Amino acid sequence: MTSALLALLAASPAHAGDNWFFLPEQASTFAADVDSLFNFINVLNLVFFVAMMGAVLFFVIAYRQRDGKHHATSPNKGNHQLELAWSVGPGLLLLVMFYQGFTIYMDMRVPPADAMEVRVQGQKWLWNYEFDVERDGTTYTLFENEALVVPVNTPVQLVMTSTDVLHSYYVPAFRVKQDVVPNRYTTIWFEAIKEGEFQVYCTEYCGTDHSRMLSTARVLSDEEYKDYIDGKIDELLMDGSKQPWERGMANFNGKFGCMACHSVEGAQGVGPHLDGKFGTEEELDDGSKVTIDDNYIRESIMRPAAKVVAGYPASMPPFEGRVSDEEMADMLAYIKHIAE
């Protein structure tokens, strides 16, 4: 029976995982292998379930009490051949599943030496991406928080950490999932085989807006990816000619992802809105009041738990060591600009 099931799965088309058991599309190199093992175990479970329930029904019907009397039964002396069969048979099936699972696991855990590295940072409630690229002999560090953008048919290793609580990075179409833990690094890798956009989830409950901690994996052709990189580098080089508040706005919405919790249009969110707030007074959770000035904003970014606004949770992660003096000056300029 085992060989028949293996032959059935081996003969199935490479995209069978897209159709069996309602699995997502297969968009990475090892997605088909993961699905084949998943399908094999499910089919095996189904076969044994039908066989065992069929035997139960047969015995219930064939050996039911027919005349309302108890009948003596022959003593059960055991059957060594039968006991050996139902011990060795499932044991061999378990070894087959272990071998396939271990082989796939090792493929998924050991990235190629030439894999492109992307540094991923999880925070409540968004994903930030940072990666290095080279153009004309110069290396540039680029940032992205709207999507993970990668070229097709290229191994990509994600080196991930969290700034606050436990998160989990999951891309169903790639069949990759990994916890993202504060104060340490975890890794996963994949090689996308399809162009397009694929959903990214956080699958570890991380607080109020956990369900909104979504991202996208965008897989581009080589030509499209080159155009994307050139555009990002040109944008980075142009930042020097922008006004400080414009650079602050870019970091607010991009690199630091402040817009995930703070609205600049007066809407209420996880954190207090910033529209017109500079120069006004804010009530804190201890009943005191503080003027929103440069020092208060700097302290609130670097050490947000020092002064918590009344009515809001102390859930913002500290940015101390992550924001340079120049970036802080630009952020202050932006907050002042939206108060004008």
Min mean pLDDT across 83-92, 98-107, 201-210, 265-274 is at 265-274
CA distance 160 to 245: 30
Q: Is 156 exposed, middle or buried (0-12, 13-18, 19+ CB in 10 A)?
A: buried
Helix 2-11 / helix 31-62 crossing angle, nearest 10 deg? 140
Mean pLDDT throughout 105-115? 89
Mean pLDDT throughout 215-228? 93
pLDDT band at residue 215 under the 50/70/90 scheme: very high
198: pLDDT strictly greater than 90 = yes
Mean pLDDT throughout 6-17? 41
- 49-65 confidence digits (pLDDT tens): 999 999 999 988 887 77
pLDDT band at residue 21 under the 50/70/90 scheme: low
Q: Which of 63-77, 165-179, 310-324 has the highest mean pLDDT?
A: 165-179
Q: Which of 61-70, 110-119, 315-324 has the highest mean pLDDT?
A: 110-119
> What local confidence, expressed as pLDDT, does residue 2 receive?
42
Three-state SS at 144: strand
CA distance 48 to 2: 11
**Phi and psi, residue 120, nearest 5°:** -115, 135
- 123-135 confidence digits (pLDDT tens): 888 898 988 888 8
Report the DSSP pairing between strands 281-283 and 215-220.
unpaired
- 163-196 confidence digits (pLDDT tens): 888 999 999 999 999 999 988 888 999 999 999 9
The pTM for the full model equals 0.69
Which domains are assigned to the chain? 2-61+81-109 (no CATH), 116-238 (2.60.40.420), 242-337 (1.10.760.10)
